[in-house]
Amino acid sequence: MDLSVLDRLKWLQQQQMVSPEFLQILGSDGREELKRVESYLGNNNDELQSFRHFPEFGPDYDATDGCISRTSSFQMEPVKNNGHNRAIALHNKRKPEGKTEKREKKKIKAEDETESSMKGKTNMSNTETSSEIQKPDYIHVRARRGEATDRHSLAERARREKISKKMKCLQDIVPGCNKVTGKAGMLDEIINYVQSLQQQVEFLSMKLSVINPELECHIDDLSAKQFQAYFTGLPEADSKQSIMADFRSFPLHQQGSIDYSVMNGTKDQTSSSWETHSQCLYNSLRTDSVSNFFSLK
């Protein structure tokens, strides 16, 4: 029975509560490191295989090259451990045996991860974590079995994974991206969507300039209050419903047809899909993805 990495880390966490001597093994950074581990468990449950940034002790890990080649060399070793050995290894952590112990644990962990990576799980690079944790000494990337382990391809792989992660986020934001696969198709969709949004904004501002003379003083207060009603920090389900209710009261369909009579002139094939897209805009405020972007700086 394999201990998954997540289980093992949870076990480690528990150990932190129980045995302070364990901290001696990790050294002064131990608590900090375990906090990092904790944050991993909290946020990224599907990133089990991400390689944790261990603080480097001793003369064994000198340079970046050394680190990466060392970890990648683990992949070539056959997986010898059965559950028994691993249990012993975990047990051994309780004893404050210093650096050798830690290295062994790391080795065993690497093999365990190799095993589960062979089962087809993808490994995330550690570049995001290093930026998260702000200890950007080394970039640790887990090499998959049989892949090139030299510095350049690792860096490239890390970069590619970053990009694909961002594309996934964009998939959530841009409607209609789920059906298209591949970067080029998705980029197409994104471009079309951004263009349509910009055109709509232009159109609306034209409309605003037409009706501007009739702008009354109390309108701005009303608008501000309405927006606060729409956007207050309600749980997402409720906010969506309330928005639906409010917008139903407006003469939406009329408005929609006026907008798209202009659009349909320019776009022949995609007019219907963009109509539904803008209706979707009213119906869904994707608070999760928005908060993601607003929290990043």
* Smallest distance from another protein to CB 251, Å: 6
* Smallest distance from another protein to CB 37, Å: 26
State CA 184 to chain mean position distance.
21
State which amino acid sits at residue 159: R
Q: Which is nearer to another protein, 17 or 245 (CB)?
A: 245
Q: Which is nearer to another protein, 17 or 210 (CB)?
A: 210
* Smallest distance from another protein to CB 221, Å: 9
* Smallest distance from another protein to CB 88, Å: 44
Give residue for tokens 């480097």: 56
* Smallest distance from another protein to CB 157, Å: 14
Q: Which is nearer to another protein, 28 or 255 (CB)?
A: 255
Q: Which is nearer to another protein, 198 or 276 (CB)?
A: 198
Find, among 50, 11, 55, the residue nearest to 33 by Cα: 55
Q: Which is nearer to another protein, 88 or 222 (CB)?
A: 222
CA distances from 48 to 56, 73, 116, 162, 211 (A): 21, 20, 10, 17, 56
* Smallest distance from another protein to CB 272, Å: 14
State CA 186 to chain mean position distance.
18
Three-state DSSP at 138 gives coil
Q: Which is nearer to another protein, 84 or 288 (CB)?
A: 288
Beta-carbon contacts of 190 under 8 Å, excluding residues fewer than 6 positions away, are 170, 174, 177
Three-state DSSP at 272 gives helix
262 sits in the region (left: phi over 0; alpha: psi -120 to 50; else beta) called alpha
Long-range interactions of 285-289: CB distance < 8 A, separation 24+: 285/230, 285/231, 285/236, 285/239, 285/240, 285/243, 286/172, 286/173, 287/236, 287/239, 288/172, 288/236, 289/169, 289/172, 289/173
Q: Which is nearer to another protein, 78 or 233 (CB)?
A: 233
* Smallest distance from another protein to CB 148, Å: 17
